[in-house]
Structure 1
Amino acid sequence: MTTANFSAPVADDRRFIRNLATGMAVILVAGFVVQLAMGRSSFGAPLIVHAHAAVFMGWVGIVLTQVWLAGAGNIALHRQVGKLAAVWALGLVIFGTWVTVAAVQTGRTPFFFQPQHFIIANPLSLYGAIGLLVAAYVMRKQADWHARLQIGSFVLLMGPGFGRLLPMPLLPPYAFEIAGLAALIFPAIGIFYDWRTHGRPHPAWFWGIGVLIAVVVVSRVIGFSPVGEVAYDAVVAGTPLAGTSGLDFPPPPGPPPGA
């Protein structure tokens, strides 16, 4: 059932969601471009990192395609692309989890994250995003809920973008939380828009905020618990890192190849 007060200015809402998602995508891509331009990253990463990047940047493209189609009122094509999105989301789960495990196993955890926390927090952020995506799909016939839950899902994927723009080496031991929570600026903008346009904020924003905060809290509790230690030991078993502490910060890297 469509939430009261949110059914009238549908076109305005679609344009707002389009502009908000576009701004999010710009920040996400900018984070990676800035790091590359400053010589802090290169294309010399392992193949899994490139595959992961292709899948996730492909997702950014799908999100942008969807919001621009909806903003233009092309709902028929929007629904067709949604079928591709449903399949692509499975790739997010596979490659997002895989690249996290590979980073910890090979000692490539960013030096401002503790590997034992990272191995829990990074996948949980992804799974939270997928959970909101599934909720948006279930409520696809309620456009007000559908669009805002989609934005909530995208918010949970913004951490890597903000993490490449923020001074992360200065933020431990809460670098992961700060990078993730910085993205709350987007649902805050959504709440402000709804208040001005509809007279009150849509509850979907608070579901997105709640999932993000829950991920931050739960991942920290688990990551620093015996469960997190067992998870870390299982991931690094059989690698040169076996027997090491997952709570030690990795050393800062040297310059990337070819820098």
Structure 2
Amino acid sequence: MAAVGFWPTYFGPLLRGTLQTVPVIHFHATVYSGWLLLFIVQIVFASTGRLALHRKLGKVGIYYGFGLVVVGVFTALSRFASRVQAARLEEVSLPLAPIAPLSDMIVFPLFFGAAVLYRRKPEIHKRLMIVATTILLIAAVSRMTFLGTPVPLPVFLVVWFLPIFLAMGYDFITQRLIHPVYVIGLVGLFILRLRNYVGETDAWSDISRWMATFVS
């Protein structure tokens, strides 16, 4: 899903040698792609019974997960600072602060932190990890222009929630269970998606102007 969403604007041009972007974007893409790879490896270890390896790598994953938050916030503020400086040079209105990545970096650590706390309860831990990682896919889905420009909200939610829907379907087929972690996760993700409306308010404009004084 991440590769599909970012293919037109990042991975495709990168492979063709035509991508022009700043180093912080490459760093961000590398770190976040690494997280998805780590997540897949951990699923393989857990599902094949290699739990000792899963736990050892999980210790690294704890630092990696919280490192994602640092990288995400740094990248968002770095790009915001560049836009603020450009706006002042061109004497145009200051841009709005990037509510999307900043709100992602508030919600992701909530679910990831809960997953860390429940790491000794695998039935809860693994589901929290699925929800936390699904949060990070929101940026990829928003770039799937083949779904519409902008992507219609119902379509957006179905595509974004797909990993959780698949996991819920697996639970229901194998255990006749709909785990509350997934229900809470879906509610949390839906609320997160509403940040677009917050970004259009006067209050967010005021916050953006306040933030601009610190990043430029």
Shorter-chain TM band: 0.7 to 0.9
Q: Please name the residue that 2:122 is paired with.
A: 143
Runs of 5+ unmatched residues, structure 1: 1-26, 109-114, 243-259
Distance in structure 2 (CA, Å) of the matches to 1:238 and 1:136: 33
Q: More deviation in 196-205 or 229-238?
A: 229-238
**Corresponding residue for residue 92 of structure 2:** none
TM-score by length of 1: 0.68
Q: Could you say which residue in structure 2 is the equivalent of 1:128?
A: 107
Q: 1: CA distance between counterparts of 2:63 and 2:177?
A: 35
CA 1:30/1:190 → structure 2, altered by over 3 Å: closer, same or farther?
Answer: same
User: When you count helix as a share of all residues, which structure comes out higher?
Assistant: 2
CA 86–180 in structure 1, closer or farther in 2 if over 3 Å, else same: farther
How far did 1:180 drift?
Answer: 6.1
Change (3 A) 1:194 1:229: same
Cα separation, 2, equivalents of 1:185 and 1:38: 27
User: Quick one: distance in 2 between partners of 1:213 and 1:222?
Assistant: 14
Do the aligned partners of residues 238 and 144 (structure 1) sit closer, same or farther apart at CA in structure 2, a change above 3 Å counting? closer
Counterpart position of 2:131: 152
Report the Cα distance in structure 1 between the residues aligned to 2:192 and 2:150, rounded to whole angstroms. Answer: 19
CA drift of 1:43 comes to: 3.6
Shift of the 56–42 alpha-carbon distance from structure 1 to 2, 3 Å rule, reads farther
Counterpart pick for 1:78 among 15, 38, 54: 54
Question: Taking structure 1 as reference, are residues 124 and 178 closer, same or farther at Cα in structure 2, changes over 3 Å only?
Answer: farther
Cα distance in structure 2, aligned partners of 1:226 and 1:169? 28
Pairing 1:30–2:4 present: yes
1:181–1:212 CA contact under 8 A, matched in 2: no
Moved over 4 A (4+): 38-42, 177-181
Report the alpha carbon displacement of residue 45 of structure 1 after superposing the two structures with TM. 1.0
Instruction: For structure 2, list consecutive stretches of 5 or more residues without a partner in the other structure.
Output: 85-94
Which residue number in structure 2 is paired with residue 89 of structure 1?
Answer: 65
Letter paired with 2:121? Q
Whether the 8 Å CA contact 2:13–2:19 is kept in 1: the answer is no
Task: Name the CA shift for 1:71/1:207 in 2 (closer, same or farther; >3 Å).
Answer: same
Counterpart residue number, 2:142? 163
How far off is 1:56 after superposition?
A: 0.9
Give 1:197's aligned residue.
174
Distance of 1:41 and 1:235 partners within structure 2: 35
> Which residue identity does 2:145 align to in structure 1?
L
Distance 2:99 2:61 in 1: 25
Q: How many residues align?
A: 204
Aligned-pair Cα RMSD in Å: 3.0
TM-score (norm 2): 0.80
Q: How far 1:80 moved relative to its partner?
A: 0.9
* Identity percentage of aligned residues: 21
Out of 190, 194, 203, the position equivalent to 1:213 is 190
